[in-house]
Amino acid sequence: MRIDIITVLPDLLHGPFDNSIIRRARKKGIVEINLINLRDYSTDRHRSIDDYPFGGGAGMVMMVEPVYNCITHLTSQRKYDEIIYTSPDGQRFNQSMANELSMKENIIILAGHYKGIDQRIRDHLVTREISVGDYVLTGGELPAAIITDAVVRLLPGAMSDAESALSDSFQDGLLAPPQYTRPAEFMGWKVPEILLGGNTPEIEKWRFEQSLLRTRERRPDLLGDEES
pLDDT at site 167: 52
- Short-list 25, 27, 13, 16, CA closest to 160: 25
Domains 2-152 and 167-227 equal at CATH topology level? no
Fold classified for 167-227: Trp Operon Repressor; Chain A (1.10.1270)
Domain segments of the chain: what residues?
2-152, 167-227
**Percentage, residues of the chain above pLDDT 90:** 85
pLDDT in tens, 206-218: 999 999 999 999 9
Please state the pTM of the whole predicted model. Answer: 0.87
Domain 2-152 has CATH 3.40.1280.10: yes
